[in-house]
A = this chain, B = another copy of it.
Amino acid sequence: MTIRNHSPSRIAYYEQIAKLGMAPLWESLHTLVPKEPRPQAVPAIWKYAQLRKFVLESGKVISAAEAIRRVLILENPGLPGKASITSNLYAGLQLILPGEIAPSHRHTQSALRFIVEGTSAWTAVDGERTTMHPGDFIITPSWTWHDHGNPSIQASGEPVVWLDGLDIPLLLQLDAGFAETYPEDTQPVKRPEGDSFARYGQNMLPVRHDVKNGNSPIFNYPYVRSREALYTLSRTNEADAWDGFKLRYVNPATGGYPMPTMATFMQLLPRGFRGKAYRTTDSTVFSVVEGQGNVRIGEQLFEFAPHDVFVAPSWQPVRFDTDEDAVLFSYSNRPVLAALSLLREERQ
């Protein structure tokens, strides 16, 4: 509350009620109930070409065991010290070296991994491991045990980097975070790789599958399939004027998003795309998979290249331009807004 030039009596009144834990709404009404969203987060880009060496260097700064999760947080310049890339979302680049393990734990925060480079690492979720390849989208839903590893047995082992997306800020705002450490570094493997996908990934479900919550029973959505879907569509359909070709990942047991707090998308902007501007109340983090292009977010213009990360805060107009095919992964807090009837979109 900024107190403007008030009469002494009004100031005295304000001081009195402050002692009783009260404040005058009329001094801050316009800030509290604004005409339209005024996100503190700002449009921003993280250029992978600049960051990569620091991500790799983190491997020397601290061990995976000591760090528990060796991640460089991508912190929005508008939210300094908040470990947030948007008001509700967290993003970070995680490095795991050959021979390392990120030890098993679980938390109520939902997490996604989007693989940036390297092919030798795995993630385990609730008793099943999956190998991670660039472009794969992997989930570790709320309160599921998970650990990551990069085997050292092969001489061919390589550093693996992925983008972590979590709802950490949202859960802090909701006071709903719980966490537990698993007694061992890795949880026991109970099912062979591919088991979940066989059960849930082929447009079929086990006859006695119960939907207990909004989390997808598939936990690896391979890039080979997502990419094929986009290119099949692009060959014979017209691109949407705003989005190009854009699909959302789905929980096949509900038709909803893979996790209750984060939506995820993959889109193809075809060569020569000159997108129209749109804006929406969800805030979105993009990770470039293939191709280069430009994006205008609010007043900012960014050039993007593979593995760059950029962010579009709530209600900032977004517009894409490409001279070559570009594939973008993205995630946002859309399910939260949709569940609360607060999603608004505008296409120009």
Chain A contacts to B: CB under 8 angstroms: 1, 9-10, 13, 16-17, 20-26, 28-29, 32-39, 41, 44, 46, 50-51, 54, 57-58, 61-62, 66-77, 81, 83, 87-88, 90, 92-93, 107-109, 142, 168, 170-180, 191-192, 194-195, 197-199, 201-207, 211, 213-215, 218, 221, 225-226, 228-230, 232-233, 235-237, 243, 246-255, 260-261, 265-266, 281, 283, 313-315, 333, 335-337, 339-342, 344
Contacts and interface: CB of A to CB of B under 8 A. Distances in A.
Contacts of A67: 24-26, 29
Given A26-B68, A178-B344, 18 more contacts: A13-B54, A20-B54, A24-B58, A25-B67, A26-B69, A29-B69, A32-B172, A36-B179, A38-B175, A176-B281, A176-B314, A198-B229, A203-B221, A203-B250, A254-B254, A260-B340, A260-B341, A335-B340
A195 B236 CA distance: 8
Contacts of A72: 17, 22-25
Contacts of A283: 175
Contacts of A44: 21
Contacts of A9: 61
25 contacts: A10-B62, A22-B51, A23-B83, A25-B69, A25-B71, A26-B68, A26-B69, A29-B67, A37-B175, A37-B178, A108-B342, A170-B173, A173-B173, A174-B336, A175-B283, A199-B233, A204-B266, A205-B247, A205-B248, A205-B250, A207-B247, A252-B255, A254-B254, A260-B340, A339-B339
Nearest to A315: B175
Contacts of A88: 173-174
Which of A20, A22, A54, A215 has the most C-beta atoms of chain B within 10 angstroms of its own C-beta? A22
B247 A175 contact: no
